[in-house]
Amino acid sequence: MKSIDVQQEVGRIVAFIKKTFNQAGFSDAVVGLSGGIDSAVSFTLAVQALGVDHVYPILLPYGVLSTKGVLDAMKVIEVSHIPLTHVVRIDIQQAVDAIVRVDPMMDKVRKGNIMARTRMIHLFDQAKKRKALVVGTENKSEHLLGYYTRYGDEASDVEPIRHLYKTQIYEAAKHLHIPDEIIQKPPSADLWPKQTDEGEFGFTYKDADEILFLIFDQDKSEEYVLQIGKSHQQATTVLSRLKENNFKRLLPHNISML
Q: Which of 55-59, 76-80, 238-242 has the lowest mean pLDDT?
A: 238-242
pTM here is 0.93
Q: Note the pLDDT tens digit of each residue in 208-258.
A: 999 999 999 999 988 888 887 556 778 889 999 999 998 888 778 777 655
Q: What is the pLDDT of residue 184?
A: 94
| 15-44 mean pLDDT | 97
- Judged against a pLDDT cut of 90, whether residue 191 lies above it is answered with no
> Are 3 and 24 a contacting pair, CB within 8 Å?
no
Question: Which is higher by pLDDT, 197 or 178?
Answer: 178
Q: Note the pLDDT tens digit of each residue in 117-129.
A: 999 999 999 999 9
Beta-carbon contacts of 67 under 8 Å, excluding residues fewer than 6 positions away, are: 61
> Are 43 and 171 a contacting pair, CB within 8 Å?
no
Q: What is the pLDDT of residue 258?
A: 59
Beta-carbon contacts of 65 under 8 Å, excluding residues fewer than 6 positions away, are: 190, 192, 193
Question: Average pLDDT over the chain, rounded to whole?
Answer: 93
Homologous superfamily of domain range 6-187: HUPs (3.40.50.620)
> Are 113 and 154 a contacting pair, CB within 8 Å?
no
Q: What is the pLDDT of residue 230?
A: 59
